[in-house]
Amino acid sequence: MNETVSLGRIAGVRVGLHWSVLVIIVLVAVSLAGGRFPDAHPGHSAWAYWALATLTAVVFLASLLLHELAHAVVARRNGVQVDGITLWMLGGAARLHNESPTPAAELRIAGVGPLTSAVVGGVFIGLAVMMDALHVSGLLVEAIAWLAGINIVLAVFNALPAAPLDGGRLLRAFLWHRTGDRVRATRGASAAGRALGWLMVLAGFAAVLFAGNLSGMWFALLGWFLIAAATAEARQAELRGILQGIPVSRVMTRDPVSVPATMTLERFLAEAPFDRYRHSAFPVLAPDGDVIGLVTADLVGRTPPEARASTTVGDVMRPLSDVETVAPDDAVVELLPRLEASKDRRALVLDDGRLVGIVTPADVSRAVTWLTSATRPRG
């Protein structure tokens, strides 16, 4: 889930919002201002209901962010690099650069999320009780009580032993510890995730059909998301199993066609379809032959036609510092998440700073096809 708006860094972790986070704010605000608040505490102005409901929604988002930040901080302390956090329609997601090194690390990283939400819920419970004892506005106490309840629900739901929930990660850590096989453990957690997802879908549709409760559609949607995410995790586990022990050098495209940084875009586009430049992405070389970046057809196409005669490839390329790089002996399974998260979905293969290849998802797919064919039993 790519971010739409960046919030900068919090505790050293890049944080962003996806546009769909507005759905959370709208749903929470509408349900509180249009229902719970007026029903529990009538007599206030509509402005008061909507202002407090919107503020409550924002605080709820902050609690989601705190949940994900806890994952990120503990992950870094356990040697797992964190690419960032994105809040979106169905909550938040901490993007981990690599897998947990041990089952114990997986346990700590996964367990801190529900624990954080439970602590936040407890803090809100204490705050609501204290404010009620001080005879603070009942409407404000209602908002605090709702935040307490929703964080407790978030903690309990995330602790369910089903991927991709935190509880699914805890289940995977347990199975990994028992079997010593990460892939087998992921399959088990993913199967539990699909089972929970289908149960939620059926329960959601049953609520709509037999009770006329339209909120069941939201429950079914969440279940469908769990099914899709758990299935994706299972496929990723199978992929990791197939590619286990395979170095990047075996899947990369060797000696990729490169382009000089001094070439104008006009000349590059004139030669691209017919001469050497028949691909859509190319390493960019400095006059001394060192690789300094990557240029894609999309980056070139952003330059207006009238400016291409005076604009060089070096002017529009993505600098090497923003390009994913990897060594030939690195494991393909460790590259996969970085490749998927990279801006251009490509990685340059460097051997002591010298360009020796390029890796794309298509290269990995070809390798998987061949490896699968080689290990498939004959009929």
Domain boundary pick from 159, 184, 209: 159
Q: What is the pTM of this model?
A: 0.76
Q: Of all residues in the chain, what percent carry a pLDDT higher than 90?
A: 56
Gap between the Cα atoms of 373 and 33, Å rounded: 58
Gap between the Cα atoms of 194 and 203, Å rounded: 14
257, 145: one domain: no
Gap between the Cα atoms of 82 and 72, Å rounded: 6
The answer on pLDDT for 160 being more than 60 is yes
9, 155: one domain: yes
Gap between the Cα atoms of 367 and 209, Å rounded: 47
Cβ atoms of residues 107 and 136 within 8 Å? no
Domain boundary pick from 134, 159, 184: 159
What confidence score (pLDDT) does residue 275 get? 65
Q: Which residue has the tokens 């390029």?
A: 358
Q: Is residue 232 part of a domain?
A: no
Gap between the Cα atoms of 325 and 313, Å rounded: 20
**Residue range 112-132, pLDDT digits in tens:** 999 999 999 999 999 999 998
Gap between the Cα atoms of 106 and 178, Å rounded: 14
In DSSP terms, 355 is beta-bridged to 350
Number of domains in the chain: 2
C-alpha distances in angstroms, 30 versus 23, 46, 50, 267? 10, 12, 8, 56
Q: Is residue 192 part of a domain?
A: no
Q: Is residue 226 part of a domain?
A: no
150, 50: one domain: yes
Q: Is residue 111 part of a domain?
A: yes
253, 137: one domain: no
Give helix 21-31 / helix 46-77 axis angle, nearest 10°: 140
Overall residue count recorded for the chain in this entry: 379
| Active site (catalytic) residues | 68
The CA R_g of the chain, rounded to the nearest whole Å, is 25
Q: Which of 58, 60, 21 is nearest to 145 (CA)?
A: 60
What confidence score (pLDDT) does residue 161 get? 93
C-alpha distances in angstroms, 108 versus 23, 40, 268, 377? 31, 40, 51, 40
**Residue range 247-263, pLDDT digits in tens:** 999 999 998 999 999 99
User: How far separated are the first and last CA of the chain, in Å rounded?
Assistant: 41
Q: What is the CATH number of the domain that holds 275?
A: 3.10.580.10
Q: Show the tokens assigned to 377.
A: 């039993």
What confidence score (pLDDT) does residue 2 get? 63
- Return the number of other C-beta atoms located less than 10 Å from residue 78's C-beta: 16
Q: How confident is the model over 51-74, as a mean pLDDT?
A: 94
Q: Is residue 217 part of a domain?
A: no
Cβ atoms of residues 49 and 142 within 8 Å? no
333: domain range?
A: 248-375
Q: What sections of 32-102 are H helices per DSSP?
A: 37-40, 46-77
HSE on the CB side for 147, CA within 13 Å? 29
Task: Give the largest CA-CA distance in the chain.
Answer: 79
Chain CA centroid to CA 43, Å: 43
Q: Is residue 44 part of a domain?
A: yes
146, 259: one domain: no
Gap between the Cα atoms of 29 and 143, Å rounded: 11
Torsion over CA: 30, 34, 40, 42 (sign): positive
HSE on the CB side for 164, CA within 13 Å? 22
Q: Is residue 19 part of a domain?
A: yes
> Which amino acid, residue 94?
A
Q: Show the tokens assigned to 225.
A: 């998301």
Greater pLDDT, 278 or 43: 43
Q: Which of 142-156, 211-225, 311-325, 351-365 has the lowest mean pLDDT?
A: 211-225
> Which amino acid, residue 69?
L
Q: Which residue has the tokens 């690195």?
A: 330
**Residue range 206-239, pLDDT digits in tens:** 998 988 887 788 888 889 988 998 998 888 888 8
Domain boundary pick from 127, 159, 191: 159
**Residue range 166-215, pLDDT digits in tens:** 999 999 999 999 999 888 899 999 999 999 999 999 999 999 898 888 77
